Structure formats: C-alpha cells, structure tokens
Amino acid sequence: MAYTGNANSFNQNSFNTNTIIQVPTPVADDKAQLLQWLSPLEPRQRHKHIRESQLDGIGEWIFRTNEFQRWNTAEDGSTHSVLFCHGDPGVGKTHLSSRVIDHFQGSEQDITVTALYCDYLDKKEQTTSNIIGAILKQVVGDGNIPEDMRKAFEVGKRHLGGVGPRTSELLKMLKAVLAQRQRVVICVDGLDESLPDHRTGLLKALREIIQELPNIQLFLTARPFILDEIKRYFTHMDTISVTPSKDDVKILLKTKLEEDPEPDAMDDHLRAQIMETIPEKVSEIFLLVSLTIEAILGETTIHRRREKLEHMTNGQDVGDVYTATLDRIKAQKKDRSRLGMEAIMWISHSERPLRPEELCQALGVQLQSEDLNNDNQPTIRTILSCGLGLITLDSSSATVRLVHFTLQEYILANPTLFHSPHSMIAEVCLTYLNYQCIRDLPPTLWSPPPTTPFLEYASCHWGAHARRGTTQIVKQLVLRLLQQFDAHIACKLLSLNEFTYFNRGTLVKQGRPLGFTALHGAAFFGVQEIMIALLGIKDWDLNATDINGGTVFSWAARRGHDGIVKMLLERNDVDPNRADNSGQTPLSMAVENGHEGTVKMLLERNDIDFDRADWDGRTPFSFAAGDGCEGIVELLLEGSDIDPGRADKKGQTPFLRAAKGGHGGVVKMLLERNDIDPGRADSDGRTPFSLAVERGHVHVVKLLEERRNLIAKSTVMDESAKAIAMELP
C-alpha cells in the first residue's frame, strides 16, 4: 500500500444501535463493506462530538509538560514511545485525548493518527478484535486497500452471514500496514472503561506492535487504578497525572457565565465571587465544576444563586453533586420531575444505548392503554431540559447518554433511586408490543416501520428486563404477547437479532420464524415464571422445533438459563439430545456459548451423548477447546466418555483448534495427557505448531517449542512462519 501522507486517517462513523439485519441488497461501495468487515467501531464521529464541546485554551498545558515534549520528540524505538495520562473521573482526560489528536492532525509532518475512545456504554461491542480492527480501518481507510486484505474479505463473505477476521489476523494485517508509515500515533482514551478481558487483549497487542515497530507511539488515558496493570505491559512509559488547572476552570466558568439563561439574576459582585470561589474550592474535577455552575445558574435570583454557591462549594464530592442535582430534578413541576427521572432510569438500565426517537416513544407509552398515542410523546429537547444537565445527546453515536459514566456508577451504588426499574421497563415494552397497531403489523417485515422506532428494542429486550423483574402485570402482558408468537412482528425482529442462529435463507423463504412458539420465547429469555405459567395452560410438544430445528430445551441450554434447563430436565417428555438442523445438540450449544453451569448439569445425567458431532464433525469438546473454555474442557475430560483427539471434517483436532486460537491454558492441559497427538496435521497439512506460529501466538509456540519433532511434522508452513520457528532458542 502506498503511503499517502495523510495525517487525518479517520473513517466516517456509522455507529448503529439498531441490530435489525436487512434483506441482502447489492452494495456498490466494496471498500465501505470491507472497512465495516474489519470492525463495526468507527471513532471519527465520537471525536467530532468531543471536539464540538472543546473550549479554546483548555488542556493546552499538556503540550508544555516535560513528559509530553520528551515523548513527542522521541526517536524511533525509544523507551519513551508510550505516554500514559491518568486521573480521576471527570478531570478532563477525554478532552486531553481529543486535544492531542488535533495537535498531530494539524501537524505538517507525515504523521498517521488513529484513535479509539473506550466507552462504558459500548464495552460489549469494544472487543479486542473490534478495537484492533478499528485502528486498522483508520489506517487503510485513507488509501488503497492491500490486496491480501481484499482477498481475506472475499473469503469471509462467502461464509453464511459473513465471517469476520480473527484477532490474530487483524493484528498481522495491522502490523503490515503500520510498518509502511513514517510515523504513527495511536491514541486510546478511557482504557478503564473497557472490559478487563478485552483490555488485556488490547494491551498485549499494543505491546507487540511497540516491540516490533519503532515508528509507533502510544498515547493512553485511564483512571489511576489500572496504572499497575499498564506498567506490566509498558515498563518504560512516561506518565502524567491529570488534574484541571485553575486557568482551565476559569475558562470554563467564564464561558458558562456568558451563556447565563437568566442574566438579570447576576451582578458583578456575584460574578466575581463565582470566579474566585469555585476555582479555589471545586477545581479538582471538571465535571464537578460544570455541575456546580449549572446548579447555581439554575436559580432565578441573585440571593438564591449566592446561597447555592455557598452550599455547592462546601466540600462536596461528585456524588454529593449528583444527589443535589437529582433532588433538583425531583423538585420540578410534577410532569417534568417524572419525565426527568424516568429518562435517567431508562438510560441507566437499558440493555443497549437508546436512540433519541426510541427513548421519546418509550416515555410516551401509557400503561394499561390499548393503542399508541403519538401525541403523548415528549420531544428530545424536553427530555434534555428535564434532566438538568445529567442527560446529554451524543451526536457521534446518535444516542442519548448520561453526562458521565460516574453517574452510572452512582446510580448502581444507590439502587433505591428507582423502584423496580426492570419490571417498569418490561411493562412499558410489553404494553407497546400488545398495542393493536403493533399486532396488526405483518410478521414478514424485515425492519420496523419509521413510525415505530421503539419496536426493535421492545421486541429484542423485553425478556431481559422481565427476567430481572416479573410482576403479575408483566406476566399477564407476556402471556398475551406470546399467543401465536411466531405470527407477531416481535418474533421476526427477535429472530433477525439472533441472526447467528437463524438462517437468513430460511427466513427469506418462510417469511417469518415458523415454529418459534411461546415456550421457545420463554426459554430464549429465561423467564422462569412465564415458563411455569405456560406449561400450566395446556399440553405442549416440548420437542417441537423452530425453522432451524431448535427446541425449547436447546434454546434454554444455548442461552445458559440454568433454572429452565433444570426444570425441563426433570420432565420425562423432553429429549435432551435433540439436534438442530446443523446437527448441534443442546450440550454442544451450551459448550460453544461457554455456559459452564448448564454443561455441568448435563454431565450429571446418564442419557446425554457427550461426544456427538454436528454436520461439520465438531463435538462439544472441539468447541470447548477451540473457544478456550478451560473449565468446560476440564469438566468434559473428567466427567464424560469422549475421544479428546477426534478430528472434524477439516481434519482439525480439538488440540489443533486450541493452538490455532491461542488458548495456552487448554494447550497446556492437553499436552499433559497421553491420548493426544500434538503434532497431528489437518486435511491441509497444517499442524498445531505451524498455525500457532503463523497466527503469532507466542505463548503457545513456547509451550510447543520443546517438542522439536512438531516442527518436522508440519507439511504446510509459509516462509515467515518457518523463519520465526527457526529463531526460537
């Protein structure tokens, strides 16, 4: 790939919270498809949103620090290639990250800048592979796509539903394109907001990049509690402790005062008091400063503002300010109070970030009503106003969010703020789905009509909320919804959301997920009370299948709902070995999805076929080893009669799949056995050793390197892999 010299190497963001999968249509822009294949994460719009809130002058101090200047001027391969900025929540770390990105984008030097803003709202989506893919797509998005990347994309497209690249493949491609750039700055903000497992994978990858490529520099930010974790990966990094300067606080206050909604309630003396008192007493956290001045300017007289200034600067921390702000929300006129608190409840307890139109329609649902009343929906402007600064609209992802993740932590630490939030949300979802206008929608639709933006969320997530809070009203609404469930639009939308299971071709042919009954729905969501109620209504065929061959029991096992699994296993009319259309048994599904409790329950029985293979020849043990599920691997080896060396139709043994996936714990466990051939090649002649080398799994290679005979047995290994192998001590 030719180097373009373009420092602005972001791609357009299309963050999509709507999981509906459309009927396949031709897409002219293959490059856009390929970039989306690399990763669904696209940070440019997030950066753009943060830039919009920047104030001139704030954060400029970082460029004057010795640490930044030493890092910025470090030569290739220097020990000063990593700069880590740490600070408490709300001190402005994300703002600093955006400043640093802009600093390099505005440079006349040949610098490629890539960035990622870790987000607690999106932490499930921000997997190691998606993050590495997001960095990669920023680099290649501004130029020609390498040919090997295009070929990998074409291969992935040929699989059902499309197969994304593995983490090791993404890392290999990323290192190849980074090596062709003159200088690359990778900025990762908010590492503490990512899930620990994903963070570990990312840090390992970044360390590998830094060690192999001297032209790379890292700029990282996080809260202080992960400082020791970061040091384990980058022992020679420079660090900066981030706290707002008093000058920055004064810039923020001056801007807020200039935007005073009630200028008549301000005089020069009070303005001077604010500019003097807040920087002295509330200067350690930007968020605290912002909420404090917002609370003061929320008063309507000079006297009340002066009282609020004294109260808000009396040694309060951010939790105290949240409490005070929530009290202010509750003190609003009745409907504004209700709307503000309900919006915060929805945002803090939803299963995924909500789009503005989804939240507006959800808040407009009238409980115990029979149909939708669009005239009862509040506007997003009204919702933001009622939230008194605690709710914000994120233009980068087109979602509504809390002002800061510390507010989410505050809400979780104070569960009495909302009474039974999940049962309330479930009741709203189910009331909506039972509306006549929703029931009248044909189940053959492939996406919700524009007039029903809340339909997708309600269809796909009502059960998750009902499982956490099932009241009598919720139970009644569920039973009403589940009557002829496979003929309801909610069932179709749910099946599209679960596209990894439901075959698109079958759905296109049938139009709707026939056979997905009320019991299937209850098993899918794991709502035990509903399952009990349904079983008491009539006699069911518990082995009846949906269009993909899934039974009620297989859905419960697939989703890891142990209560329902146990309930069904106690009956004598359930076949616990019934395979679906791909040949997968409930045990295999539970193993593939990592549900150790369900697997343990099945292993305690004597009527389970523990070693039954699916149509691809893969057994439950093959899935456990290939996915690196050490606990399940141990359970299957100890508690069942299986052949741990059994190969699938590609000739790949469980050991080979473990090595290929980089699962060192499983590899080590299997190497200790005498019924495993660790050098056995697959149908293409690739051995566990060659695959581990080619995919860059150094820890697995080290486990295997003592067995030199494994190298000799490899009949297929590319030249780079052989070179790596020969360099091993």
pLDDT score for 1:
31
Task: Give the residues across from 219 on adjacent strands.
Answer: 83, 187
pLDDT score for 302:
93
* 61 and 117 inside one domain: yes
**Of 370-384, 504-518, 533-547, 619-633, the least confident:** 504-518
pLDDT score for 508:
59
Which pLDDT tens digit goes with each residue over 672-699? 888 888 889 999 998 898 888 887 787 8
Query: Would the pLDDT of 542 be above 80?
Result: yes
Give the percent of the chain with pLDDT over 90: 43
How is residue 172 written in tokens? 């290999």
* 303 and 182 inside one domain: no
Residue 711 pLDDT class (50, 70, 90 cuts): very low
How is residue 95 written in tokens? 């703002």
Q: The tokens 């789009």 sit on which residue?
A: 355
Contact, 684 vs 716, CB < 8 A?
Answer: yes
* 235 and 250 inside one domain: no
Query: Would the pLDDT of 728 be above 70?
Result: no
Instruction: Decide if 516 is inside a domain.
Output: no
**CA distances to 110, 174, 182, 414 from 179, in Å:** 14, 9, 8, 49
**Of 91-100, 471-480, 498-507, the least confident:** 498-507
- List the alpha helices (DSSP H) in 397-471: 405-413, 421-433, 436-439, 455-468
pLDDT score for 444:
83
Instruction: Decide if 469 is inside a domain.
Output: no
* 263 and 115 inside one domain: no
**Of 379-388, 459-468, 478-487, 550-559, the least confident:** 478-487
296, 316, 336 - which closes a domain = 316
Give the 3-state secondary structure of 619-688.
CHHHHHHHCCCHHHHHHHHHHCCCCCCCCCCCCCCHHHHHHHCCCHHHHHHHHCCCCCCCCCCCCCCCCH
Instruction: Decide if 398 is inside a domain.
Output: no
Rg of the chain, C-alpha, whole Å: 28
* 253 and 220 inside one domain: no
Average of pLDDT values for 29-50? Answer: 82
Query: Would the pLDDT of 267 be above 50?
Result: yes
Q: Which residues of 682-720 are buried (b: 16+ CB within 10 A; e: fewer)?
A: beeebbbbbbbbbbbbbebbebbbeeeebbebbeebeee
Cα separation of 414 and 411, whole Å?
5
Average of pLDDT values for 10-32? Answer: 41
Residue 466 pLDDT class (50, 70, 90 cuts): very high
Cα separation of 20 and 32, whole Å?
19
Question: Taking the CB of residue 556, how many other CB atoms lie within 10 A of it?
Answer: 33
Nearest to 662 by CA among 636, 612, 715, 700: 700
Q: To 10 degrees, what angle do helices 562-569 and 596-603 make?
A: 20
- Where residue 185 falls (left for φ over 0; alpha for ψ -120 to 50; beta otherwise) is beta
**CA distances to 96, 174, 229 from 222, in Å:** 12, 24, 11
Contact, 725 vs 694, CB < 8 A?
Answer: no
- Where residue 378 falls (left for φ over 0; alpha for ψ -120 to 50; beta otherwise) is beta
Instruction: Decide if 102 is inside a domain.
Output: yes
What is the value of pTM for the model shown?
A: 0.70
Contact, 488 vs 430, CB < 8 A?
Answer: no
Query: Angle at CA 424, nearest 5°, toward 428 and 525?
Result: 80
Task: Give the residues across from 84 on adjacent strands.
Answer: 220, 239
Instruction: Decide if 403 is inside a domain.
Output: no
Q: What are the CB-based long-range contacts (under 8 Å, 24+) for 630-636?
A: 630/663, 630/665, 630/666, 630/669, 631/596, 632/591, 632/594, 632/596, 632/599, 633/666, 633/669, 633/670, 634/669, 635/596, 635/599, 635/600, 635/603, 636/591, 636/599, 636/603, 636/610
> CA torsion 188→192→196→199, rounded to 10°?
10
pLDDT score for 590:
94
Contact, 396 vs 48, CB < 8 A?
Answer: yes
Average of pLDDT values for 470-475? Answer: 92
How is residue 714 written in tokens? 């490899």
Domain count for the chain, please give it: 3
Cα separation of 408 and 401, whole Å?
10
Number of H helices, E strands in the chain: 38, 7
* 201 and 144 inside one domain: yes
Average of pLDDT values for 316-340? Answer: 87
Cα separation of 202 and 222, whole Å?
14
pLDDT score for 707:
66
Query: Would the pLDDT of 4 be above 60?
Result: no
* 301 and 198 inside one domain: no
- In a 13 Å sphere around the CA of 495, the CA atoms on its Cβ side amount to 32
212, 241, 270 - which closes a domain = 241
Contact, 497 vs 490, CB < 8 A?
Answer: no
* 196 and 306 inside one domain: no
Residue 505 pLDDT class (50, 70, 90 cuts): low
**Of 218-222, 344-348, 388-392, the least confident:** 388-392
pLDDT score for 159:
52
Residues 6+ apart with CB under 8 A from 52: 395
pLDDT score for 576:
93
Which pLDDT tens digit goes with each residue over 336-372? 999 999 999 999 999 999 999 999 999 999 998 889 8
Helix (H) or strand (E) holding 115: strand 112-117
Provide DSSP, 466-503: HHH---HHHHHHHHHHTTTGGGSHHHHHHHHHTTTTS-
* 123 and 54 inside one domain: yes
Q: Give me the CATH number covering residue 672.
A: 1.25.40.20
Q: Give me the CATH number covering residue 93.
A: 3.40.50.300
* 216 and 250 inside one domain: no
* 237 and 250 inside one domain: no
Cα separation of 87 and 286, whole Å?
11
Pairing verdict, β 399-402 and 391-394: antiparallel
Which pLDDT tens digit goes with each residue over 127-173? 898 999 999 999 888 778 888 888 888 877 655 445 678 888 888 88
Q: The tokens 């609404």 sit on which residue?
A: 477
Domain that holds residue 671: 610-728
Average of pLDDT values for 502-525? Answer: 75
Instruction: Decide if 483 is inside a domain.
Output: no
Cα separation of 360 and 368, whole Å?
18
Nearest to 188 by CA among 88, 63, 68, 100: 100
* 150 and 299 inside one domain: no
Residue 443 pLDDT class (50, 70, 90 cuts): confident
Mean per-residue pLDDT of the chain: 84
Cα separation of 306 and 297, whole Å?
10
Instruction: Decide if 594 is inside a domain.
Output: no
Query: Would the pLDDT of 84 be above 90?
Result: yes
Average of pLDDT values for 546-562? Answer: 92
Instruction: Decide if 563 is inside a domain.
Output: no
Residues 6+ apart with CB under 8 A from 60: 99
Query: Would the pLDDT of 705 be above 90?
Result: no
188, 212, 241 - which closes a domain = 241
